[in-house]
Amino acid sequence: MPKRVAYTAKIEFIQILDENGRFDAALAEGGLADEQAVALLEHLILCRHYDEIAFKLQRSGRMGTYPQNKGQEAIAATALAVTRDDWMVPCYRENPALFLHGLPMEHILLHWMGDERGNQIPEGVNVMPISIPIGTHMLHAAGIAWAQRLRQTGNVALTYFGDGATSEGDFHEAMNFATVMRAPCVFLCQNNQWAISVPREKQMASETVAQKGLAYGAECVQVDGNDVYAVYHATKAAVDRARADGTVTLIECLTYRLGDHTTADDARRYRDPKELEAWTKRDPILRLRTHLTAKGLWDDAKEAAAQDAAKERVARVVKNAEGIAKPSTDDIFDYTFATLPDGLRAQKESMRTHSLALEPGQETLRRAEAQHA
């Protein structure tokens, strides 16, 4: 029998605005409008200042470990590609997108301060709490997307993760489930080149992350993750496909974290400073600011106003987070059982636990008493 080609594929790379200011107007057609781009730049400036203040809160002992978003803020453009009714299932470096989708800024600070109320998402905000375990939340996104299909809501689930997460089994299980069930899910990988201290080329043999989705029958694309126009373009197309017929898309956003992995890390120990310098020149905020300035849509006065507004708002957010009332001890008991068991009710009322010695009615002691009767 003659040989034949069983399968061929290609991965497209999308870039609309590069680091040198070149702009592909044809590809940008129908994408971000000028007023959206200006509002987005203001938001990115706000989130960059938020990031800097969060870092200082950690360093001054007012907050726990914190993962900076610096360098990856173009992800915010994804929030403009979904509706308020769609679901966002984040990892832990997606603040700009989550805030645009309606999550109060205080919640992220509360989370890293160790206050569980930071994970109590307000009613009507379709965002899941940020996920620290690598890759596990993608399974939740696939399930949420499937639920939307079963309920015929027309809504989509969009989940974020890093390049390291695609080396986890959960990624492959979530991709397989979503594509087989045609669950309207968009998988967005923020390939920031490092899985903590492990470079991408040492954790996978594939030339791209995007191609991993081909094995599951997903649409796959790679974009310049520091280009807000390209991120929006790819995400909007993916969301529209998912909403129309349940097509699953894997988007690989090439980006870079300009800070350490977290405040518990020192990237100088494993990262070439020349690499950091090169990626700093590709900063998504710098790129968008330069482009809008060239178009006459941004100037020094608008920059100063945006910076002042960011400082004022973040100061209020920090004040609110640090000034939140202490939680009630009732919270320990009230959110697990519909009807509180007698043993837990006794603990709640007395604020004391009841040991075996103080609770002779427990089964183990009843058996002992029966044996000696």
- Count of beta carbons in the 10 Å neighbourhood of residue 313: 14
| DSSP at 187 | E
Q: What one-character-per-residue DSSP string does 276-339 give? A: HHHHHTT-HHHHHHHHHHHTTS--HHHHHHHHHHHHHHHHHHHHHHHTPPPPPGGGGTTTT-SS
* Active-site hit among 43, 101, 107, 261: 261
Element (H, E) at 223: strand 219-224
Please list, in sequence order, all residues whose beta carbon lies within 8 angstroms of the beta carbon of residue 362, skipping any fewer than 6 positions away: 356
Q: Is 50 a catalytic residue?
A: no
Q: 74: Cβ–Cβ under 8 A, 6 or more apart, which residues?
A: 44, 225, 226, 227, 228, 231, 253, 255, 284
Which two tokens mark 142? 């696939």
What number of other Cβ atoms are within 10 A of residue 135's Cβ? 21
Distance between CA atoms of residues 129 and 252, nearest Å = 22
Query: Under a CB-based contact definition with an 8 Å cutoff, are residues 105 and 127 in contact?
Result: no
Catalytic residue among 22, 59, 84, 270: 270
Q: Among 149, 200, 243, 257, which one carries the catalytic annotation? A: 257
The 8-class DSSP code of residue 115 comes to: -
Residue 137 is a catalytic residue: no
SS (H, E, C) 141-181: HHHHHHHHHHHCCCCCEEEEEEHHHHHCHHHHHHHHHHHHH
270 catalytic per annotation: yes
Structure tokens at 220: 């796959």
Q: In this structure, are residues 275 and 81 in contact, taking their beta carbons and an 8 Å threshold?
A: no
Query: Token pair for residue 278?
Result: 């090169």
Give CA–CA dist 3/1, Å, rounded: 7
Non-local (6+) Cβ contacts of 228 within 8 A are 17, 32, 37, 40, 74, 76, 77, 284, 288
The catalytic site residues sit at 257, 261, 270
